[in-house]
Structure 1
Amino acid sequence: MGRRMVLLFLSFLIILVATPIYADSEGKKTIRIAGDRNFPPYEYMSKTGVYSGFNVDVMNAISIQTGIKFEFVPLPWNQAIQALHDGKVDAIQGMKYSATRDRVYDFSKSYFTSVQAIFVRKDNVWIRELQDLKNTQVAVQKGDIAQELVKVNQGIQLVEVNSQQEAITLLSTGKVDAFVGNQITGQYFAQLMDKQDNIKIVGEQLHPEAYGLAVLPKNKQLLSTINEGIDAIKKDGTYDKIQRKWFGKVILSWSTYFDKWLFWLELAIWVAGILFMGILWWNRQLKREVGKRTVEIEKINEQLQEKMFMLQENLSFQQQLLDSAYSCFVTLDQNGKIAMYNQKAQDILQVQPEWIGKFYKDSLVVSFIPEEQINQTFREAKVYLQQEVTWHRNGEKRIISYSLFPHKNQTGESVGVILNFSDITQRKELERQMAESSRLRALGQLMLGIAHEIRNPLTSILTYAQLLPKKMDNKEFCRLFSEQITDEITRLNDLVDDLLNYAHPRKSAPTSFPFSTLVSSILVLLKQQCSEKKLTVIEEIPEDCYVYADRQQLQQIFLNLIINAIQALPEQGQLIIRAEDLDSHIKIEVKDNGCGMEDQDLDHIFEPFYTKKNDGIGLGLSITYQLVKENHGAIQVTSQLDKGTTFTLLFPHTSTSKDVIPHVSSHDY
């Protein structure tokens, strides 16, 4: 009695949810869903006039889970598709997926796998698969996926019908040779019409594909809620109950089962007979085959020995290759034990062959490579590149450069650590000597530049001083004397200021600020110069692009670079200022399509007093370089004559990222 009451309540609830509702009490929109009115057991009009079926129950369950109101619109299948395209309905509740349909519709998550089948009369023995339908009359439902399957076979005469029930009728009366349609629905109608004794299914299942709700792309947002409902009813067990309700029993008749079992029994007898004969033949051939296999095994053993020899040769070659390398290599296994090292490492560490298998902490490796870094490479697969450390050994100071890499297998799993290190003491000494030589050369050039720049204003001052006693009464001379002496002294004072800034730039006070505001303030100052040349200035700077540097020094850097670009540009030229956040730092470009520079000039542009301008001093880019380094940045320049110049700068965007500015190649000074 209790079970009947529950079933009665559920039936009432399903009918209540299935009743068309155009808006709920809160005015929510009703979703109109079309479906086939004669496609049992998926969806059909029952004898009582109620729209029922597997799809209807699924939609009602989704409605209960999500609160969406559905209005069902039962139509012939081809009319249901047309109603969706005409906008009369919002969705079709059950459509099989295909690549062709996917270009027109958007599908929900699949909640069933639909298969097609070939139905023929039971006395038909020559149609077994899809290819056998050539030159036959085949019934298909209008708009059904079967049309796509059948159309690929040329020579088939299609007979389009409004429902699969009509197709079963045509097949049973001999008006068509075959019917291609949904397997379960075809079986349902065959049983309903008592035609299962003279209709059979042949061949394999056709086109097993996902089956779900379909909408036009404009209603795609509806699918997210539908998908949530599908997940919910599958999770709470409602879907399993609905599926058992409609598909839990096979519709095929007992005679069909008997025919299938009879076929398999006959097949088993034939197979058993063939196996028996095969065993007899096999016993006769076995001795002969054993002899052949013995010869093959001997050949395989010879091949294995050859491969083992080649493997040993390859390992020996790899060891020789490692031993000939300039760097030292030591590998650790996943337990932290030494697995291999080359001759160079053996010479520096003075290890013996018995070190293989020893724990790395017992070796000299930890005397110059921190254990924590090795452990981080083990635990986190962290990479350390070109780390430099001073190693004191036997009272001797050595400089070691080392790198740590995780050793990974083919699946990408870390199975050890590779240590690569070199003694760079001599190289560092050579670099120091070269730097000292370069510093002395730059100092000499600096002195020559200072002498040249000071001599010009001093010559003017000396000339006026010599003429002063003779022309003191000349008012015009006195006026020129006053103006030009002042200009020359100011010029000398500016030169001294530039030299001080170059030699001792002000200590930076970095802060984090949006780079776009800095560029905007600079362009306001240079607006008149840009307008005079009719320049096109393009800013590609994100609003959230922050840079960590001294704002005043950064303003001086980009003021110098932008002024240089404006001076190099012709009329109607183009200036691009671009910024990009690269996680660990900010990349900034100042690009122009002006006159460009020759390659020999690129090697000297950051040197003091190097300039190709007639009125230039040659300290602007030198000071720019100093300020970039003061703010933990890097600068690069690329240029082509008559095509333009690009300055690329890298700065940290936070106070913690200033030590991770990458090395910049190509004219990085």
Structure 2
Amino acid sequence: MLHQIIHSIRWLRFPATLTLFFLLFATAPFTEAFAGEKTIRVGGNHDYPPYELVDKNGQPAGFTVDLLRAIAEVMGMNVDIHLGEWAKRHDDLKNGMIDMTLGMNNSEERDKIFDFTSPHTIVQQAIFARRDSPVVSSLEQLRGKKVILHRNGIMHERLRQLGFEKDLMYADTPAGSLRLLASGQGDYAVVALLPGMYIIRENKLTNLVPVARNVASFKFSFAVRDGNTELLSQLNEGLAILKKTGQYQVIYDKWLGVLEPARVSWEKVIQYGAMVLVPLMLLLTGTVVWSRTLQKKVIQRTEELAQEVAEKKLALEELRLHQDKLIQADKMTSLGILVSGVAHEINNPNGLILLNMPTLKEAFQDAETILDGYFHEHGDFAFGGIPYSRMRDMLPQLLVEINEGAKRIRRIVDDLKDFARLDKTECLEPFDLNDVVCVAVRLIDTTIHSSTNRFMITCADNLPKVLGNAQRIEQVVVNLIVNACQALPNKTRGISLTTYYDRPEGSVVLQIKDDGIGIAPEHLSRITDPFFTTKRESGGTGLGLSVSNSIIKDYGGSLEFASTFGVGTTVTLTLRTIEQETLK
């Protein structure tokens, strides 16, 4: 062509010819670029609304179609879009017949064959059923059911991998899958949620509903032939530009937003609110007037009921007092039986320990000479898993500790038997208050050590004896010490026990002082009342101090409490000596 032009203008003068040559060569690159601009061949699914579909004019339409056209416009690309059956378009891209597809769900299997852009949306896969079908919530619940889906779709791959092949029924499109289900074939259909809702609405398949809305989610992207990095980067760049400029959101709202729940405007909220609030206010006003009328009658009737309740409460309290006393007595009876049985069971094996311990000591003493000889002749050796050189000194001490422990078990069991023993007749005899205090301390030694690190006991020498029942006084002392332990907020606070003889009054005194939380002034005068307790939520019955006070009074003694709230409490137990009882 250039040769013909030169030949036709040979008659022109040299300057004109030079000018023509300049124009031709200056425009040559642009002409070549325009003639060589490549058209990108694009394939898509003709029946995947609202993402890809053929409109009423027979033209490609849908979310991904508009999105690609907008990318082509901003990137200066020529695109030729053809929609058809998805299985064929999938194979066309795989075989190089087209350059890209409008949309493809990403998976590991497909990622080995194609390259994918950044996802332009997320597609949720759903399970659809006829309205009278049992509800399912997962793919696993579809086993053994006839499941309809479109051929070569992403869920075809997924269900085939999960071993559903024998239960699958196929259609060429998602719409075909739902039509088969609506006609009564198969049990369920697995279709992308938005296309499924779109198809149901457009085709008026009113007997179908989604029963599980998100059984799987996939990234939905443009797909290109493997290795076509140039086209891939152009598409990603164009998609990023559309998102920055807001064009992406406009396209999204046009196609996908219509299937999402509509947003209610503030005007509608106010309008509907007024329609509800005005009648409600009128109803509320009427209710207030009516309630005022009833209120006076209610107050009057409430006062009458309060009077009746108070009277019934007093009667019930008296009844509960007698009932709880019976329960407490029954508990003490059961405790005595239980302790006797347990003491017997413990004493038998413990007696064997005490009986066999001297034999063990003698056996070791006899064997020690032989073991020492073996040690000197052969060197150290394992004896009970420990070198004999150490065990020779340890074993006698271990035997002593076992013997002392068994004796301690016997003392505790004897103390428990004495404490829980039920006397069929009231046996009054002289006893030493110091002995009773020591037994009580041994009984609750564990409680004391778990409550405080500062427990101190001071017993006066040569206390005069008092007359009474030692076991019942033990019960009182145990109760007072336990109360003192419970009053301590932490183990750094202390408890002290002191006994002494008050010669002018002719009485023996036990004083228990704790550094606990103290007793509130309004409660101090009521603490020996039956059933009064501040520890009801932790199981307190309010009988402990009441019973203790009754026991002490029975023996002519007294129980006095002095307390400063937040500082501590001092309890003073006083019993008359035998001489004072005789004089009385």
Superposition TM-score tier, normalisation by shorter sequence: 0.3 to 0.5
TM-score of the aligned structures, taking structure 2 as reference length: 0.38
Name the structure where helix makes up a greater proportion of residues: 2
**Greater RCO (Cα-Cα under 8 Å, separation 6 or more):** 2
Q: Greater CA radius of gyration, 1 or 2?
A: 2
TM-score of the aligned structures, taking structure 1 as reference length: 0.33
